[in-house]
């Protein structure tokens, strides 16, 4: 593994778990998530996340968000996180790493003419008691930066 990946190495692996999605414009729901973070020997990580809404019993109801992207570690504990979504949105995050913690904010958001209005986000990832905990705040559809997602994932496999 390239030495540049050391601050992000704790992300590598397959993760599964559940969380809560909500926003002032939608009803809150539980969701399930599968996440795979990998590398091919070059100094970046590949990110693939799939989610689905869950019913009250924890059964899958329908697919949710899908993300494909890359983490790019930079000198001095800085990091870029590039994400694409099948809904016509591309995000570039910039932020910092510290031991078992990553905090990033959107540097830019690009939307297709048919994508929903979405202007900014803030994400925080951390390794807590061997689990991946994360939260996301979002500014979209006329709302200011507001809590949107949170989840706890366990390493599997």
Whether residue 157 is predicted with pLDDT greater than 90 in this model: the reply is no
In DSSP notation, 76-105 reads: GGEEEEEEEETTTEEEEEEEEEETTEEEEE
Q: CA-based Rg of the chain, rounded to a whole angstrom? A: 15
What are the pLDDT digits (tens) for 34-80? 999 999 999 999 999 999 999 999 999 999 999 999 999 999 999 99
What are the pLDDT digits (tens) for 98-132? 999 999 999 999 999 999 999 999 999 999 999 99
84 and 69 Cβ atoms separated by less than 8 Å: yes
11 three-state secondary structure: helix
Q: Alpha helices, DSSP H only, in the chain?
A: none
Q: How many whole angstroms separate alpha carbon 105 and alpha carbon 80?
A: 9
Whether residue 5 is predicted with pLDDT greater than 90 in this model: the reply is yes
CB atoms within 10 A of CB 62: 8
33 and 49 Cβ atoms separated by less than 8 Å: yes
What pLDDT is stored for residue 1 in this prediction? 85
Q: In a 10 Å sphere around its CB, with 0-12 CB exposed, 13-18 middle and 19+ buried, how is residue 115 labelled?
A: middle
Q: How many whole angstroms separate alpha carbon 68 and alpha carbon 46?
A: 8
């Amino acid at each position: 593994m390239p030495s540049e990946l050391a601050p992000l190495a704790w992300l590598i692996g397959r993760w599964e778990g559940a969380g809560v999605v909500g926003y002032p414009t939608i009803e809150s729901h539980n969701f399930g998530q599968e996440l795979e973070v990998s590398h091919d020997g070059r100094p970046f990580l590949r990110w693939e996340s799939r989610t689905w809404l869950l019913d009250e019993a924890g059964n899958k109801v329908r697919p949710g968000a899908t993300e494909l992207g890359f983490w790019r570690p930079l000198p001095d504990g800085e990091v870029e996180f590039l994400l694409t979504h099948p809904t016509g949105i591309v995000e570039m995050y910039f932020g910092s790493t510290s031991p078992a913690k990553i905090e990033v904010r959107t540097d830019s958001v690009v939307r297709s003419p048919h994508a929903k209005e979405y202007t900014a986000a803030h994400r925080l990832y951390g390794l807590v008691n061997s689990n991946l905990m994360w939260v996301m705040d979002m500014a979209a559809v006329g709302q200011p930066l507001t809590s949107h997602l949170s989840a706890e994932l366990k390493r599997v496999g």
